Amino acid sequence: MATLTYMRAEHVPVLAAELVDVLDPRPGQTAVDCTFGGGGHARLIAERLGAAGTLVCIDRDPAAEERFEELAADTECELRFVRADFAEALERLRADGFGVDFAYMDLGISSLQLEVAERGFSYTYDAPLDMRMDPERSLSAATVVNEWPEERIAGVIRDYGEERHARSIASEIARRRPLTTTAELVDAVRAAVPPAYRFGRGHPAKRTFQAIRIAVNDELDLLDRGLSAAWELLSVGGRFAAISFHSLEDRRVKHFLGDRARGCVCPPELPECRCGHEPEAELITRRALVPSPEEVERNPRSHSARLRGARRLTRGSRAGDEGWGV
């Protein structure tokens, strides 16, 4: 039943034209879609790669593989699907000596996952507390809220949700345990926050749901690993882009690309450069690209999206990185 709902849900790729502009795909190139999801971006990219191109698509959600089969039956591009989290898949590709002309990530939760009530991602549906992007993982949202210590839950909500009422929310969750549904979690959040917060802008449980979802799916650690692995797959001149949807993701992408675009790394007190360090990246987006007002009007979920991209200049390894090519 969940699969049928998923297949009927509408998928609207965010910042699609901007992503294509940043990546500048050419016929015959090889690319990696690190977060296939509903396949909206992959379809646009595959059309530009043409019959001589290759696109490797990665996703840990089994429902995404069904969407991939639809795309594979409807495009000339050579396609390959890897069902795994993108950090694991990219590291395997790197270990196999695979190289690409460009790679891209569309981070966070997809509209397709949100619209399937049974997955438990959304605070707008009453569903089991799940939130697993890979249903085969053992850790679920129910485990987090019912078995983790209150102090740990507070830290998750504070650090991953940037929620100022994290401590009171965690306390209310612990008081009400066991919680089995998303509606029960929403009720706990509502009871824990001040009335003005309950009825203010945005849903009061949004940050808590984001935080628990990130913890369940280990999203930030996987992003750190995935950024490094995706970058190491790029050939000289290769391009990388990432679309993020909250500040925790965007800061990681910004700092990762910014660090690789730096030249001199000498201490600022030195009168002249002695390190000889050359930048290995050129930023394509000096500032994050954001959706146009027209796109936000068509697709309100796009409003928080941020796109950043860079081009690889050298194959040299950084200090502290594993060098697998020079």
**Model pLDDT, residue 241:** 98
Evaluate whether 93 touches 233 at the Cβ level (below 8 Å).
yes
Residue 93: other Cβ atoms inside 10 A: 21
| pLDDT tens-digit series, residues 211-220 | 999 999 999 9
Q: Where residue 43 falls among pLDDT bands split at 50, 70, 90?
A: very high
123: its two tokens? 């605070």
What does the pLDDT average to over 68-92?
96
Measured at the CA of 45, the angle between CA 132 and CA 34, to 5 degrees, comes to 30
What does the pLDDT average to over 244-264?
94
Query: Poorest-confidence range of 122-131, 158-167, 266-275?
Result: 266-275
Dist CA 163 CA 177 (whole Å): 21
Dist CA 142 CA 300 (whole Å): 29
DSSP for 138-154?
S--HHHHHHHS-HHHHH
**Residue 277 or 157, more confident:** 157
Mean residue pLDDT across the chain:
90
**Residue 276 or 174, more confident:** 174
**Model pLDDT, residue 180:** 96
Looking only at the bridges linking them, the beta strands covering 54-59 and 30-33 are parallel
Q: 163-190: string of b/e by CB count within 10 Å (b at 16+)?
A: bebbbbbbbbbbebeebeebebbbebbb
**Residue 27 or 116, more confident:** 27
Q: Where residue 9 falls among pLDDT bands split at 50, 70, 90?
A: very low
Nearest to 118 by CA among 181, 61, 179, 177: 181
Evaluate whether 282 touches 311 at the Cβ level (below 8 Å).
yes
**Model pLDDT, residue 322:** 38
Four-point Cα dihedral 254, 247, 110, 140, nearest 10 = 120
**Model pLDDT, residue 234:** 98
**Domains of the chain with CATH codes:** 2-112+219-312 (3.40.50.150), 123-217 (1.10.150.170)
Residue 193 DSSP label: S
**Model pLDDT, residue 266:** 78
Dist CA 156 CA 285 (whole Å): 31
pLDDT of residue 5 exceeding 50, the answer is: no
